[in-house]
Chains A and B, each alone.
Chain A
Amino acid sequence: MTRQRHRVRTGPLMTPAVGMLLVWMIVPLLMTLWFSAQRYNLLDPGGTAFAGLENYRDLVTGRALWVAMGNTLLLVGAVLAITLAGGTLLAVLLDREFPGRNICRLLVIAPFFVMPTVSALVWKNMLMNPVFGLIAWITRSLGLGAPDFFATAPLAAIILIVAWEWTPFAVLILLPALQSLSKEQREAARMDGAGAAAMFLHVELPHLRRPMAVVAMIETIFFLSLFAEIYVTTAGGPGLASTNLAYLIFQDALFEWDVGLASAGGVVAIALANVVAIFLMRVVGRTLEAER
Chain B
Amino acid sequence: MASIELRSVGKRFGSHEVVRRVDLLVEDREFVAFVGPSGSGKSTLLRMIAGLETVSEGEILIDGQSVARVPPAKRGLAMVFQSYAIYPHMTAAENMSFSLRLAGVPKAERDAKVREVARALEMEALLERKPRALSGGQLQRVALGRAMVRQPKAFLLDEPLSNLDAALQAQMRLELVRLHRELKTTMIYVTHDQTEAMTMADRIVVLNEGRVEQAGTPLELYNRPASLFVAGFIGAPKMNFLPAQGAEGRTLGVRPEHVRIGEGGELAGEIVALERLGARTYVHARLTDGTRLVAEAAGDTGVREGDRLAFRILPEGRHWFDGSGRRVT
Question: A: which residues have CB within 8 A of B?
Answer: 182, 184-185, 187-194, 198, 202-203, 206-207, 209, 291-292
Which residues does chain A contribute within 8 Å of B98, judged by CB atoms? 189, 192, 202
Tell me, rounded to whole Å, the shortest Cβ–Cβ distance linking A252 to chain B. Answer: 48
Partner of B79 from A185, A191, A194, A202 at Cβ < 8 Å: A191
Tell me, rounded to whole Å, the shortest Cβ–Cβ distance linking A239 to chain B. Answer: 47
Supposing A191-B78, A202-B98 touch, asked if A184 and B83 sit within 8 A by C-beta, the answer is yes
Which residues does chain B contribute within 8 Å of A209, judged by CB atoms? 89
Q: B89 to A184, Cβ gap below 8 A?
A: no
- What are 26 A-B pairs with beta-carbon distances under 8 A? A182-B85, A184-B81, A184-B83, A187-B52, A187-B81, A188-B81, A188-B85, A188-B87, A188-B146, A189-B87, A190-B52, A190-B71, A190-B73, A191-B52, A191-B73, A191-B79, A192-B98, A193-B74, A193-B99, A194-B102, A198-B102, A202-B87, A202-B98, A206-B87, A207-B88, A291-B88
Q: B82 to A184, Cβ gap below 8 A?
A: yes
**CB-CB contacts of B45-71 with A at 8 A, as 1s and 0s?**
001001010000000000000000001
Supposing A182-B83, A184-B85, A206-B89 touch, asked if A192 and B99 sit within 8 A by C-beta, the answer is yes
Which residues does chain B contribute within 8 Å of A202, judged by CB atoms? 87, 98
Tell me, rounded to whole Å, the shortest Cβ–Cβ distance linking A201 to chain B. Answer: 10
B232 at the interface (CB under 8 A from A): no
With CB as the reference atom, state the residue of chain B lying closest to A190. Answer: B72
Please report the C-alpha to C-alpha distance between residue A198 and residue B73 in the assembled complex, in whole angstroms.
13
Within 8 A of A (CB), among B263-279: none
The 3 closest A-B pairs by CB, nearest first: A193-B73, A192-B99, A188-B85
Supposing A185-B87, A291-B89, A292-B132 touch, asked if A191 and B82 sit within 8 A by C-beta, the answer is no
Tell me, rounded to whole Å, the shortest Cβ–Cβ distance linking B141 to chain A. Answer: 15
Which residues does chain A contribute within 8 Å of B83, judged by CB atoms? 182, 184
A188-B87, A189-B87 known; 19 new pairs, CB 8 Å cut-off, are A184-B83, A184-B85, A185-B85, A187-B81, A188-B85, A188-B146, A190-B52, A190-B72, A191-B73, A191-B77, A192-B98, A192-B102, A192-B146, A193-B102, A193-B103, A206-B88, A207-B88, A292-B88, A292-B132
Tell me, rounded to whole Å, the shortest Cβ–Cβ distance linking B23 to chain A. Answer: 25
Which residues does chain A contribute within 8 Å of B50, judged by CB atoms? 191
Tell me, rounded to whole Å, the shortest Cβ–Cβ distance linking B277 to chain A. Answer: 37
Question: B: which residues have CB within 8 A of A?
Answer: 47, 50, 52, 71-74, 77-79, 81-83, 85, 87-89, 98-99, 102-103, 132, 146, 150
Q: B73 to A192, Cβ gap below 8 A?
A: yes
- In this complex, the member of B71, B77, B98 whose beta carbon has the largest number of chain A beta carbons within 10 angstroms is B98
Please report the C-alpha to C-alpha distance between residue A187 and residue B82 in the assembled complex, in whole angstroms.
12
Tell me, rounded to whole Å, the shortest Cβ–Cβ distance linking B4 to chain A. Answer: 15
With CB as the reference atom, state the residue of chain A lying closest to B83. Answer: A184
With CB as the reference atom, state the residue of chain A lying closest to B150. Answer: A192
Please report the C-alpha to C-alpha distance between residue A209 and residue B89 in the assembled complex, in whole angstroms.
10
Which residues does chain A contribute within 8 Å of B71, judged by CB atoms? 190
Which residues does chain A contribute within 8 Å of B82, judged by CB atoms? 184
With CB as the reference atom, state the residue of chain B lying closest to A209. Answer: B89
Please report the C-alpha to C-alpha distance between residue A189 and residue B72 in the assembled complex, in whole angstroms.
10
Which residues does chain B contribute within 8 Å of A192, judged by CB atoms? 73, 98-99, 102, 146, 150
Which residues does chain B contribute within 8 Å of A194, judged by CB atoms? 73, 102
Tell me, rounded to whole Å, the shortest Cβ–Cβ distance linking A142 to chain B. Answer: 43
With CB as the reference atom, state the residue of chain B lying closest to A291. Answer: B89
Please report the C-alpha to C-alpha distance between residue A194 and residue B81 in the assembled complex, in whole angstroms.
17
With CB as the reference atom, state the residue of chain B lying closest to A203. Answer: B87
Partner of A187 from B85, B89, B150 at Cβ < 8 Å: B85
Please report the C-alpha to C-alpha distance between residue A18 and residue B150 in the assembled complex, in whole angstroms.
60
Please report the C-alpha to C-alpha distance between residue A60 and residue B244 in the assembled complex, in whole angstroms.
103
- In this complex, the member of A185, A198, A206 whose beta carbon has the largest number of chain B beta carbons within 10 angstroms is A185
Please report the C-alpha to C-alpha distance between residue A29 and residue B110 in the assembled complex, in whole angstroms.
59
Tell me, rounded to whole Å, the shortest Cβ–Cβ distance linking A145 to chain B. Answer: 49
Which residues does chain A contribute within 8 Å of B78, judged by CB atoms? 191
Tell me, rounded to whole Å, the shortest Cβ–Cβ distance linking A98 to chain B. Answer: 17
Please report the C-alpha to C-alpha distance between residue A259 and residue B166 in the assembled complex, in whole angstroms.
74
Which residues does chain B contribute within 8 Å of A206, judged by CB atoms? 87-89
Which residues does chain A contribute within 8 Å of B52, judged by CB atoms? 187, 190-191
- In this complex, the member of B47, B85, B132, B150 whose beta carbon has the largest number of chain A beta carbons within 10 angstroms is B85
With CB as the reference atom, state the residue of chain A lying closest to B81. Answer: A184
Which residues does chain A contribute within 8 Å of B77, judged by CB atoms? 191
Tell me, rounded to whole Å, the shortest Cβ–Cβ distance linking B198 to chain A. Answer: 27
Which residues does chain B contribute within 8 Å of A291, judged by CB atoms? 88-89
Which residues does chain A contribute within 8 Å of B88, judged by CB atoms? 206-207, 291-292
Which residues does chain A contribute within 8 Å of B79, judged by CB atoms? 187-188, 191
Which residues does chain B contribute within 8 Å of A182, judged by CB atoms? 83, 85
With CB as the reference atom, state the residue of chain A lying closest to B102. Answer: A193
Please report the C-alpha to C-alpha distance between residue A203 and residue B94 in the assembled complex, in whole angstroms.
13
Which residues does chain A contribute within 8 Å of B102, judged by CB atoms? 192-194, 198
Please report the C-alpha to C-alpha distance between residue A207 and residue B47 in the assembled complex, in whole angstroms.
24
Which residues does chain B contribute within 8 Å of A188, judged by CB atoms? 79, 81, 85, 87, 146
